Chain A
Amino acid sequence: MSLRIVVCVKYVPDATGDRRFADDLTLDREDVDGLLSELDEYAVEQALQIADGADDAEITVVTVGPEDAKDALRKALSMGADRAVHVEDDDLHGSDVMGTSLVLAKAVEKTGYDLVICGMASTDGVMGVLPALLAERLGVPQVTLLSEVAVAGGVVTGRRDGDTASEQVEASLPAVVSVTDQSGEARYPSFKGIMAAKKKPVESLDLDDLGLDADEVGLAGAWTAVDSATERPARTAGTIVKDEGEGGRQLAEFLVGQKFI
């Protein structure tokens, strides 16, 4: 029986670029390049490894985002995913995590899945709660923040490293998994992979296809509101000294002045 793996990925603004808010206080996508979130590359990698160890597996990569988000899907396909689903609809603009998790849950259900794999967080919003929300919506176990993951005999197992303890966890499939950047270095797409990706199917879905109304998602359907976004003033120039033998003592003096010592 085929193992159906769905990987949820996000197209995010390049963190090395100049990220900013647009006038409606959503992300400004005009002035900065986007790419597949680095943390989602780890999810794609684990999907590929799990598929390699399964008799028969199919990996579908799913994203919710504007036209350009296809780039994130292409990257995942070039790494080795089999097919892609792109949820694209103008009414999705400004969705918060509740709206996004609703859309993803519908898309994942429509696709069909035994295992959903996500990155631990997006590299733009960095909330880290979408996998848990997806599990809640799908009504399946959450097996999140894993630094090691394995699937065998319809059971997913993994290691979750918390602040105070490291835990071994397990759940029966179907389940939602999220993986950390410690789960294993993500592979680079090969030339062959990049060429093959061009021929792989990318299905487009809109809100109608998912049976959702516009007012359930987007800015209008968001359950949170951003009232203001202010660019931080550049830090006022700090004191910088060159060490000429007294740098450590000068720094100690500064820390005394700030009452840290």
Chain B
Amino acid sequence: MAEVLVLVDHVDGAVRKPTLELLTLARRIGDPVAVALGAGAGATAGVLGEHGAVRVLTADAPEFAEYLVVPKVDALQAAFEAVSPVAVLVVSSAEGKEVAARLALRVGSGVITDATDVEAGEQGPVATQAAFAASYTTRSRVSRGVPVITVKPNSAPVEPAAAAGAVESLSVSFGAAATGTKVTSRTPRESTGRPELTEAAIVVSGGRGVNGAENFPLIEALADSLGAAVGASRAAVDAGWYPHTSQVGQTGKSVSPQLYIASGISGAIQHRAGMQTSKTIVAINKDAEAPIFELVDYGVVGDLFAVVPQLTEEINTRKG
């Protein structure tokens, strides 16, 4: 059967959930062959095999950590040439998109980014995307070369499917460009203990209505009751109430969780652009005219300082 390359997103061997989602999608097109790079690459094989990877190509070299993006492109290209895949799937992270695009250019293929679904089609894989702040849904395909597609987290369920997951070492020779941009230091983001924003199944966000950094613990408590990530609107971030890494929106992070809860967020177009593909949308806002209410599956017109604590308490009670 035709093989599909899947670039593995992992941290020291711990495979991140969006990669397991990719394996589910890859199986619709062919046999997934995973490519795991960097420290801990070999340790990913077990979980990748349990989720359908027939083979796991691994490579480790200092270059993957010491230089930006290009070493991974070199390695993915080596895998591409070794496997001759019918498609390449990569997670739509900032780095994932850059790696995918450069690979596509090198191998003479078109690239599609931020797909929210991928299906097999008569002329090759068909990708679904959201356009113009999700006011449109498009279906696209790569018309030249081998489709290279990046997929947003939460676009597919994680479905276990046992496969061989045979580990093979991938031979990579780095080109001159690989060492062009040196990473001189790296500070891991301090763990909040919460899921990462872009891949969380539930996101709870606060905006201007939260009215100060000192009130964000209300939002955090609600997030923790649901095992959710915390987001913030640009207004809240610009005011310094929450870190900019948590900004959801056009100029921040694009999220597509199963459930999005907006508290004290009016729903300006720039915010909507970053969250409108969420499956279920809930808003709490005291302004009944706030545009966010046009999007919601469920909205509460009311003071978030009353509604959010009551909701949190109710959830915690029900969880027992």
Give the complex CA separation of A19 and B272 in angstroms: 14
Of B45-53, B95-103, B165-173, which binds chain A?
A: B95-103
Of B21-29, B56-64, B205-213, B244-252, which binds chain A?
A: B244-252
Cβ proximity bits B275-306 to A, threshold 8 Å, 1 near / 0 not: 00000111010001000011111111111001
Give the complex CA separation of A87 and B209 in angstroms: 45
- B113 and A247 contact, CB distance less than 8 A: no
Q: With A226-B139, A229-B138, A255-B315 in contact, is A248–B310 under 8 Å at CB? A: yes
Give the complex CA separation of A6 and B298 in angstroms: 48
Return chain A residues, CB-CB under 8 Å to B297. 235, 238-239, 254, 258
- B101 and A129 contact, CB distance less than 8 A: yes
| A231 (CB) vs chain B CBs: closest residue | B136
**Which residues, 116 to 141 on A, are CB-close (under 8 Å) to B?**
123-124, 126-129, 132-133, 135-137, 139-141
**Which residues, 149 to 202 on A, are CB-close (under 8 Å) to B?**
157, 160-172, 175, 180-182
Of B30-38, B155-163, B175-183, which binds chain A?
A: B175-183
- B95 and A162 contact, CB distance less than 8 A: yes
Return chain B residues, CB-CB under 8 Å to A175. 180-181
Size category of the binding interface on chain B: 35 or more
Chief secondary structure at chain B's binding surface? mixed
- A251 and B311 contact, CB distance less than 8 A: yes
Give the complex CA separation of A38 and B167 in angstroms: 46
Q: With A164-B196, A223-B145, A251-B311 in contact, is A143–B131 under 8 Å at CB? A: no
Extra A-B contacts (9), CB below 8 Å, given A161-B245, A232-B136: A133-B101, A164-B11, A167-B187, A172-B180, A225-B142, A227-B140, A243-B303, A252-B311, A256-B318
- What 7 A-B pairs have minimum CB-CB distances, sorted nearest first? A243-B302, A248-B310, A223-B110, A141-B180, A129-B101, A248-B311, A252-B314
Question: Which residues from chain A sit less than 8 Å from chain B, CB to CB?
Answer: 15-16, 19-21, 25, 38-39, 96-98, 101, 123-124, 126-129, 132-133, 135-137, 139-145, 147, 157, 160-172, 175, 180-182, 222-232, 234-235, 238-243, 245-252, 254-256, 258, 260-261
What are some 23 contacts across the A-B interface (CB < 8 A)? A101-B105, A126-B273, A132-B102, A145-B94, A167-B183, A171-B180, A175-B180, A223-B110, A229-B136, A232-B134, A240-B301, A241-B301, A243-B300, A247-B301, A247-B310, A248-B307, A248-B309, A248-B311, A251-B307, A254-B282, A255-B315, A258-B259, A260-B226
